[in-house]
Chain A
Amino acid sequence: MKLIIHDLGPEAQERLSGKGEQVLYADGKYAPCQGCFKCWTKHPASCGIRDRLQETARVIGQAEDLTVITGNCYGGYSPAIKRLLDRSIGTSTPLSTYRGKQMHHTLRYGKHGKLLVKVYGDVSEKERETWRLTAERNAVNDGFAEQQVLFFATKEEAEAAEA
C-alpha cells in the first residue's frame, strides 16, 4: 500500500483520494507531540491525545511506500506535516538497535520501500542540502530502502508530479 501525506488543502485531498491511494491531509488542526513516550510504554502505536492523529502511527507503519508533499520550513517539513510525523513515532518500538552504524529504534512494522518527499515553495540552496540530509536520516530511522527529494515551485506542480 502507498500512503500520501500532504498539506495541500481540502481540494487536493479530494483529488488525491480519488486515485485509489490512501491519503492523509495534514491540516494542522491537532495537538503537537508532548514527548511522553506513552505510544511506546502505555498504549503501543497509539497516541494518548484523543484527536484524529491518535492512530496515525498504525496507518503510516503499514504503508509500503510513503510520499510526503510538504511546504518548505527552513529545510524541514511544514509545521502541520511535522506535527503529524512527531505524533507517529509509534511506528518504531522503544527498544534500540544499530542501523547504518548508529543507534535507532527497532521497527514495529518492519522495513519499507520508498520514501518520496515532494517539497514546494521557495527553497534556498542551503535548505535543499538540509532537505536531502533530513530525508536521508528519516529513511534510516524509519527503515526505508530508498529515498528521494524533489523540489517544485508551486503546490500544483508538486501534486501533479509523478515519481
Chain B
Amino acid sequence: MKTVLIDCSPKKRMSASGFIASMTDVFLRGKREKEKLRVPADHARILEKVKDADNAVFSMPLYVDGVPSHVLPFLKEAEEYCRENGLHPNVYVIANNGFIEGRQNEPLMRIMENFCDRAGLIWKGGLGIGGGVMMNVMRIMITVFFALMLISLVLSGFGTAPLITFGQQLLSVLLLGCGIIAFDLRLAACINRGKSYGKHYTRIMVPSFVFILFADIFFTVLSVFQGGIFRGWLKAKKPETVSRKQAE
C-alpha cells in the first residue's frame, strides 16, 4: 500500500498542516511519501507520485472558508490527470483553521468531496481541526521544556526531579492536543485499512474564551514586534492610491 501525504500550506516553515501531516505519517503503514504543494512547479512531481498510490492525504489550512487559492489549480490539473490515466485513489483530507471550532472547516470538506466526484476519485472523508495553529505552539513548548530539562539534568547532577517535571509538562501539553491525536489515530487506522472515515471535527482542548484571549495576546505581541500596532492597527484604512488621487 502506498500513501502520498500532500502538505498544502503555502508556508515554507512552521506550517501546522505540515506538522499534522507528519504526525499522521507516523501512524501509517506501508510506503509513504510526503510532498509539499506550494507553487505550480510542484504539480507534476506530486501527480507522478499519486500515479501508483492507493491513498492521497491532503493536509491544508482553511482560507476564507475554503481551499487555499494556490491549491485550486492543482485540483483542476489533478482532475484531468486522474481521468486521463484512469486513476482512482482514496482521498482523505485534514483541514485546520485558526478559529477554535473545527466545524468551520465544513465548506472546505465539501469542496474536496465535490472535487473527488468530478475527478472520479474515492472520497473517504476528512478531519477538521479547530485551533490548528496551536499545534505549532505545542511543538515549540515541548522543545523548550525538553531543552530546560536537559539543562536541569546537568545542573542537578542527573537527578530524577527534572525528568518528572518534564513528564508532567509533556502530559499537560499532550492533553491540549488529545482530541486531535485521538481523531488523527482513528484517521490513520482508516487509511491503513482503506476504509471510509466519514467527517469528524475536533479542536484544541481549551474553552473558546481562553483560546480567544491567547489568540488576541499572540497577535498583539506579534503586532508590537512587527510594528503594525503603531500603523493604525485596527483602523478602517483607505486605499492609498485612491487617497492620493483625491488629494490631487
* B126 nearest CB across to chain A (Å): 14
Q: How many residues of B contact A (CB 8 A)?
A: 55
Contact (Cβ within 8 A) B10 A110: no
Per-position binary interface string of chain B over residues 170-206, scored 1 when its CB falls under 8 Å from any chain A CB and 0 otherwise: 0000000000000000000000000000000000000
Please tell me the number of chain A residues within 8 Å of chain B, measured between CB atoms: 55
Which residues of chain A are within 8 angstroms of B61 by Cβ–Cβ distance? 35
Closest A residue by C-beta to B222 = A41
Q: Are B65 and A137 neighbours in the complex by a CB distance under 8 Å?
A: yes
Q: How many A-B residue pairs have CB under 8 A?
A: 165
Known: A110-B236, A130-B107. A79 touches B72 (CB 8 A): yes
The verdict on A33 contacting B107 (CB below 8 Å), with A41-B219, A93-B234, A108-B235 known, is: no
Q: Are B68 and A33 in contact (CB under 8 A)?
A: yes
The listed residue (B101, B106, B115, B235) touching A74 by CB distance below 8 A is: B115
Interface residues of A (CB under 8 A from B): 32-38, 40-46, 55, 58-59, 61-62, 73-79, 82-83, 85-86, 88-89, 93-98, 102-104, 106, 108-110, 124, 126-127, 129-130, 133-134, 137-138, 141
List chain B positions with a Cβ less than 8 A from chain A: 9-11, 15, 61, 63-70, 72-73, 75-76, 99-101, 104, 106-107, 110-115, 117-118, 208, 211-212, 215-216, 219-220, 222-223, 226-228, 231-242
Q: Please, could you name 29 A-B residue pairs with CB atoms under 8 Å apart, sorted by A? A: A32-B69, A33-B70, A35-B9, A35-B11, A37-B222, A40-B223, A42-B223, A42-B228, A42-B231, A44-B235, A46-B240, A58-B237, A61-B236, A74-B75, A74-B115, A75-B107, A78-B72, A79-B69, A86-B68, A94-B223, A95-B216, A96-B212, A109-B236, A129-B110, A130-B111, A130-B114, A133-B106, A138-B64, A141-B65
